[in-house]
Structure 1
Amino acid sequence: MNLLADTLASFSKTLGPLKGVTILDLTRVVAGPYCAMLLADMGATVIKIENPNDPDLTREFPPMSQGGGEPRSGFFAQYNRNKMAVSLDLKQPEGKATFLEMVRKADIVIENFRPGVMDKLGLGYEVLKGVNPALVFTAISGFGQRGPNASRPAFDSSAQASGGLWSMNGTVEEPMRVGTVLGDLAAALYAAIGTLGALREAERTGQGQLVDVSQQDAIVSLTENALVTYTETGTVVKPEGNGHPFVKPYGRYACKDGFVFFGAYTDKFWREACITFGDLEMATDPEVDTMAKRFAPDTYLRKVKPTVERWCAAYTKAELEAMTGDRFPLSPIKTMDEVVADPHLRERDMVVSVDYQGTRFDVFGNPVKLSGGTLEQGASAPGVGQHNPQVYREWLGLEQAEYDELVRLGVI
């Protein structure tokens, strides 16, 4: 086991399936950091590299810790747990040279700069693969590494807008952005998948490759049947509000203390719903006794929708969840305080505690559940340059004089 893995091992009793894999994480904000964090949770040794004078700006993103002492960012802690951190100025010659030495010993580099930035630094994929032919180089960007829009700057909303999701989400009257950074998060997930696939190939053949993930591409892939509906029928999907374009009943319905999702649209589930709510006549009513009949817009609006609204309005969210159980799909539309308190999510370790330099934050866990375990329990997030001595002196093997010179020059 290498020295970095030894250091990381102190965070957990198990090292995970990616034990021995070393990742150089040049990323900032969400998409790149989340991708690297997912791999760190599975045991990879992730070294977060930040410019000493311009570290990841999410270190100042809210929510900030509310206790005493220096404020710490819960946002940063959530996306950078289980990582080591070093400072390194890649714009200085000594910084470039140090990074290239790190690349020789690494398995993966992840970056989410705008395309061309790494090339301008003299550290693009072609240069790095010359140093380490087995290197997997994962690049996450708004519009990808090639194409007429590749050089455009982008945020999550750029992807939601250009990928079509914004135009089909929201109310019938007004398209709306999805209320989370889905372009960032989806790109992170695809990047993690692509990185693991490329790593498997590199281990098999000794040849690495470039993994090119675009936020816009990621969003397009999440638009369900909208693309094929247009290419086949010419129909442009519009926002449906809280309903579904053809599946009914399937959407949001009001209850005594809020709203629930009701999805008993199949014949089996519809019968179960009728039995649950003591409305057996609706189970055999010839107007609504088949799924196809219930899908008909006029029948749905006239008979099905009022029935489901009447059913739900008589109960609270908790009562509806308890009475339906596993009989048919019905879920309370939970606020975040209810999500955090959800005993099912707690049982599945989806709320975990992360230490960030003495401050503890409760953040979301890893949705990938491995029988061998993942490392999010008891994890920590690093300070800027926190692991400079371990990485540069112990892992990279710099002499003390070389290390001191990098410090003197402001490279680290």
Structure 2
Amino acid sequence: MMPTGSGGALAGVVVLDLSRVLAGPYCGQILADFGATVIKIESPRDPDVARGFPPFLRHGEEELSGYFAQYNRGKLGVTLDLATDGGRRALVDLARKADIVIENFRPGTMDKLGIGYPVLREVNPRLVYTAISGYGQTGRNRAKPAFDSTAQAAGGLWSMNGAPGEVPVRVGTVLGDLAATLFALTGTLTALRHAERTGVGQLVDVAQVDSVIALTENAIVNYTVDGAVAAPAGNRHPWVRPYELFPCADGHVFFGGYTDKLWRVSCELFGTPEHATDPEIDTMRKRFDEEVYERRVRPIVVHWFAGRTKAELEAMAGETVPLTAVRTIDEIVQDPGTADREMVISVAHDEFGPVRMFGQPVKLSATPADVTRRANRLGEHTELVLSTVAGYDTATIKELREAGAI
């Protein structure tokens, strides 16, 4: 029996994860959290480069990447050299029994190796083959290399982010990768549902650039309808006001009291009820006017928050109006509310000790995620997986090892 999660919603689903770094591995990690048997396949000569990403836990001469641990928890580890005949043959044999394959190579790489979707589909017609790439499997840009920032640049997000009148600023997390992760997960589970119902698998083609374009909110329709090109707007909404970042005694808060009801309640909370009936700013449409907002509304809000701390402001108004402290990562980790939602968890990693990482944001009432299983060591489960999934005997596995295929 393979060491996998039990009782999860995806129990019995077998996933071959050939991906590297983040977009693919995170997709596989989420599937593993919900009970799928996710087999991470790496080259014995060129493993996932994320194993070399900081921060590191150390035990003697060994080190463990916290980054790798976070995105590969719950997986089994197998090494296959796909540049060898034996490695390719083993992958095909594993694919016969798999439900899902995830890869994020440049389009055409798997086909050149002779193990692309057309080949694997022949041996397993119900296989869901998820390919994540920069520009997708089709189109004139398909062969271009891409990273997260490529997607942020090519998908328009970079051009929209930053302060007005200044150079665009990259979003402070790998949103190109993360968007592709979530759209790949959606596509994979959708295709899996179809395969379980019909016995017919399919190719799930997800591009980082496409995924970023789909996150640009109203930028596309603003251009196609009004000809308006999105530009950096800083911490403000383009027309909803007040709805932005405001300073306070020990940092900043977000305040979004823009509707008439929220504005009235806020005026009462902060002891200036007269502003709710002031004829110049008594309606939402009046407060949306940029000149009126800058001259009248914004100074009122700044005055409300001056001299008060983030904690004081949240205690005073946070349960009544949208007023939220801008928290730093250390504050998030230490926040009891984060613990309430189990969003910082501790996963044991043998002699390295526990690694604290983010948890699973999807909460299922009947089949909750299992986030307790650690990430695999390189090739840790190679013999176990080849024997139980591919059906290889000891002699075959020994032959592959001697040939350098595993």
2:318 and 2:383 mapped to 1: Cα distance?
54
Tell me the equivalent position of 2:129: 137
Deviates more, 1:323-332 or 1:352-361: 352-361
1:113 and 1:395 mapped to 2: Cα distance?
24
Tell me the equivalent position of 1:25: 17
Which secondary structure state, in structure 2, belongs to the residue aligned with residue 326 of structure 1? coil
Tell me the equivalent position of 1:291: 284
2:172 and 2:350 mapped to 1: Cα distance?
30
2:263 and 2:168 mapped to 1: Cα distance?
31
Letter aligned with residue 162 of structure 2: G
Q: TM-score, length-normalised on structure 2?
A: 0.97
Residue of structure 1 aligned with 2:241, choices 244, 248, 260: 248
1:269 and 1:24 mapped to 2: Cα distance?
50
Matched, 1:195 2:195: no
**Deviation of 1:174 (Å):** 2.0
Letter aligned with residue 191 of structure 2: A
Matched, 1:90 2:90: no
2:7 and 2:104 mapped to 1: Cα distance?
26
Q: How does 1:146-161 map to 2 (within 5 A)?
A: 146-161=138-153
Matched, 1:267 2:260: yes
1:264 touches 1:328 (CA, 8 Å); kept in 2?
A: yes
2:97 touches 2:389 (CA, 8 Å); kept in 1?
A: no
2:224 and 2:348 mapped to 1: Cα distance?
49
**Deviation of 1:8 (Å):** 1.1
Residue of structure 2 aligned with 1:213, choices 198, 206, 209: 206
1:151 and 1:39 mapped to 2: Cα distance?
28
2:74 touches 2:371 (CA, 8 Å); kept in 1?
A: no
* Identity within the alignment, %: 56
Which secondary structure state, in structure 1, belongs to the residue aligned with residue 46 of structure 2? coil
**Deviation of 1:251 (Å):** 0.7
Matched, 1:406 2:406: no
2:247 and 2:167 mapped to 1: Cα distance?
21
Which secondary structure state, in structure 2, belongs to the residue aligned with residue 337 of structure 1? helix
Q: Which runs of 5+ in 2 are unaligned?
A: none
Tell me the equivalent position of 2:341: 348
**Deviation of 1:356 (Å):** 3.5
1:352 touches 1:376 (CA, 8 Å); kept in 2?
A: no
**Deviation of 1:357 (Å):** 4.6
1:141 and 1:364 mapped to 2: Cα distance?
25
Matched, 1:15 2:7: yes
2:301 and 2:290 mapped to 1: Cα distance?
15
Call closer, same or farther: CA 1:66–1:323 in 2, change over 3 Å: farther
Tell me the equivalent position of 2:119: 127
Tell me the equivalent position of 1:235: 228
1:353 touches 1:379 (CA, 8 Å); kept in 2?
A: no
Tell me the equivalent position of 1:370: 364
1:409 and 1:68 mapped to 2: Cα distance?
31
Letter aligned with residue 176 of structure 2: G
2:120 and 2:390 mapped to 1: Cα distance?
17
**Deviation of 1:66 (Å):** 5.5
Letter aligned with residue 143 of structure 1: Y
2:201 and 2:300 mapped to 1: Cα distance?
58
2:395 and 2:129 mapped to 1: Cα distance?
31
1:90 touches 1:121 (CA, 8 Å); kept in 2?
A: yes
Q: How does 1:26-175 map to 2 (within 5 A)?
A: 26-65=18-57, 68-172=60-164, 173-175=166-168
2:29 and 2:278 mapped to 1: Cα distance?
53
Q: Deviations over 1:202-252 (max 9, x none)?
A: 001100000000000010011110110001111101111111100110010
**Deviation of 1:373 (Å):** 4.1
2:40 and 2:87 mapped to 1: Cα distance?
15
Call closer, same or farther: CA 1:311–1:67 in 2, change over 3 Å: farther
Deviates more, 1:386-395 or 1:130-139: 386-395
1:77 touches 1:355 (CA, 8 Å); kept in 2?
A: no
